[in-house]
Amino acid sequence: MHFGRWLLAGVASVALLLGGTIGPASAGSELDGLAGAPVRSPIASDSFYFLMTDRYVNGDPANDTGGRSGGPSTTGFEPTSDAFYHGGDLAGLAGRCDAADPSDHGLARIKRLGFTAVWITPPFVQRTVQASSAAYHGYWFLDITKPDAHLGTEAEFATFMACAKKLQLKVFLDVVVNHTADVITYKQGYSYVPIARAPYRTATGRRFDPWSYTSGTSFPRLSAKKSFAKTPSVEPAFSAAKAPAVLNEVTRYHNRGDIDWGSCVGRCEMDGDFSGLDDLMTEDWTVVKALADSYGEWITKYGIDGFRIDTAKHVDPYFFGRWLPLIQQTATSAGKSQFTSFGEVWYTEPAQLSEMMRARGLPSVLDFPFQDVARTFVTGRASGASLASLFEEDDYYTTATTNAYGLTTFLGNHDMGRIGFFLTSQSTSEGQQLLERDLLAHDLLYLTRGVPVVYYGDEVGMTGSGDGKDKNARQDMFETQVPEWRLEERIGGSPIASGSSLDLSTPIESRMAALAAVRSTNPALASGAMITRYGAGSVFAVSRIDAAARREYLVAFNTGDDPASVRIPTSTPATAWSPLLGGSGAQSDASGTVAVTVPARSSLVLKASDTLPQPSAPSVSLRAAKDFVTGTYRLTAAVPGTDPGAVTFVMRRKGSADWTVLGTDDARPFRVFVPPAKGRSVEVAAVVKDSAGQVASTSPLRVSIAPFL
């Protein structure tokens, strides 16, 4: 994604940096038939509500202690503490399942807010208490074959799923594949031991590298006493606590000690215990199969629509290439052909984050780079140019099966904190102006590319206490008994005191419902091609393209404290633009430029009255260059004019007659990135298909894609 102007439009005479020449445009070539439509994720048009089940609705107080007796250290239940269970459950989420009943606060409420999908924290059986905290959040699993008793029974989970299906809400489960609850102890202590100091050994004492066994070859037999840097042991009370049963075998873990967050880079992130949690030997095919079978049961038994994958960057690099196909096979057999997943990978650089999709096989990831830049923009600490720069890097995500439109975007979460906390602590706004910044943040979330994820409680203006992170960002929606939470600042309202957030009606809720409605009525605002048109000062603006209707939308955001008057280029000249959200109508001139005034701390959405003009016959040229950021080769296609078409990039090996699609890009600059291959000489080409369906292609271009970094 980039500005409407195209700086390399005249590169047809420039020599190829790799030693070749740029392929000239050629109409009617054999390549024209390869022109394809850009891919879209199965969830590209969805909007997610992410909730922590324990903190949402308490539908059955009888399960608050998880069937245990005693104090909080045994039951895990202490509603006055932010570190223990509070009582939210599956029965509360199911409610009466009546979207027309305003007093039904379960999934029905989420449906009324306009969401199409819910993501719930892991519902699995937990180690109830570890150290001074309970597993209310769900990330310390012992048994992934059934729900935790604090949340409900299998029958109640089935009722919850039936309600979601009735309301046409997709359900994504949060799953953990990197680790289990902490039950393994080491007599040598918990400091991480590098492989160089203590290599892995087989049961017979032979050195081996687990990464050399990830292609399906038989994994060696290991010994608790001989194979690891640490000697693992388990207390008798937990010796058979995990399910599937194979996870009770201590040789199915790395047993290398805790990750040192101050010094660890690379392999230690994948072999070390995450904050003491038992790190699974995901290289072991037995572990891969056990995790696939057990999580797959939730698909076949309940009809789960997808997974959010916790701590995804901490498993070995080959895991998803082996585990996800098994999950997909199960989903397809269960009639869930649109099943998909997205991973949690806390990288804030697109070039780095995209490698989790390109190289490791994840269909999508949580878009931490978006969160980082959007936060600074809406708090008034970054300009529109920052957003333009962010979206310019979207092409790193483009492959034959993925692109940035499938990224899950968000403003805050249960780890880093809420958008409300960032707004109150990082901007100078107060009162109504603070509310306007909150609304602006959600406009940006819903109206730019990606799948918006709203963290529960943000719709009622929750902020946070203390540092705003972790436990301080996991408030109750029902009547809270945590003293600090009763007094916390609320954006757009007063502290909740002894009331329930579920009974509130807020301006933020109203805006979310309005945004959901405008996206539903105008699908291009959800999944249409996005072209950055303007990014300077306090303003950022994009076009969204309805390819089927050949209609353009203009969306602009202003983070400034004053109205901003700007001139924005579009692809639709000499037409009226009607307002769909905020602001007033406008008129584009003969060049397509629209003069608009965007209100302070606000947004506007305009729809062109006329369809896109009929373009002249297209042409395309191709250039290849090294991308020193990623170590890949960058293919860039230049297409004259301003028509919002799409370019498909293809490649074939020397001597082959078959072309492989590398990806289709629908926003300038048209680019894909090709991984290097040792000694590989290939042919590449580009095929453009304009908005009217006209096609042109380049001649094949021979290049070398040998590694260069």
Tokens in use for 627?
């991308």
| Count of helix runs (H) and strand runs (E) in the chain | 15, 32
Residues making up the chain, counted from first to last: 709
Residue 302: other Cβ atoms inside 10 A: 19
Residue 78 falls in the annotated catalytic set? no
| Beta strands, E only, 138-237 | 141-147, 170-176, 179-180, 184-186, 232-234
Phi, psi of 217 (to 5 degrees): -70, 160
Q: How many other C-beta atoms lie within 10 A of the C-beta of residue 352?
A: 16
Are 483 and 476 in contact, with CB atoms under 8 Å apart? no
Residue 354: CB atoms within 10 Å: 27
At position 197, the amino acid (one-letter code) is R
Distance CA 62, CA 96 (A): 18
Backbone angles phi, psi at 515, to 5 degrees: -65, -40
Is-contact 479 500, C-beta < 8 A? yes
**Amino acid letter at 131?**
A
3-class DSSP assignment, residue 383: coil
The verdict on whether 344 is a catalytic residue reads yes
Contact call for residues 192 and 256 (beta carbons, < 8 A):
yes
* DSSP structural state of residue 667: S
518: phi then psi, degrees, rounded to nearest 5: -70, -30
Residue 532's closest CA among 366, 656, 644, 690? 644
What interhelical angle do 350-358 and 368-378 show, nearest 10? Answer: 150
DSSP string over 583-628: S--EEB-TTS-EEEEEPTTEEEEEEESSPPPPPPPP--EEEEEEET
Backbone angles phi, psi at 145, to 5 degrees: -100, -5
> Which of these is catalytic: 78, 143, 310, 665?
310
Count the Cβ atoms, other than its own, within 10 Å of residue 503.
Answer: 14
**Reduced to 3 states, what is the DSSP secondary structure of residue 138?**
coil
Spatial neighbors of 664 by CB under 8 A, at least 6 apart, are 36, 37, 38, 39, 398, 646, 647, 648, 649
Query: What's 85's DSSP letter?
Result: B
Count Cβ atoms below 10 Å from residue 707 Cβ, excluding itself.
12
Secondary structure of 19-74 in HEC code, one letter for each residue: CCECCCEECCCHHHHHCCCCCCCCCCCCCEEEECHHHCCCCCHHHCCCCCCCCHHH
* DSSP assignments along 219-274, one per residue: PPP--TTTSSSS-EEE-GGGTT--BSGGGG-GGGB----B--TTT--SHHHHHSBB
**Can you tell me the distance from the alpha carbon of 139 to that of 179, in angstroms, rounded to the nearest whole number?**
9
CB-based contact 641:11 (threshold 8 Å): no
> How would you write 397-437 as a 3-class SS string?
HCCCCCCHHHCEEECCECCCECHHHHHHHHCCCCHHHHHHH
Residue in 54, 148, 344, 683 annotated catalytic:
344
Helix pair angle (431-447, 368-378), 10° resolution: 150
Catalytic residue numbers read 310, 344
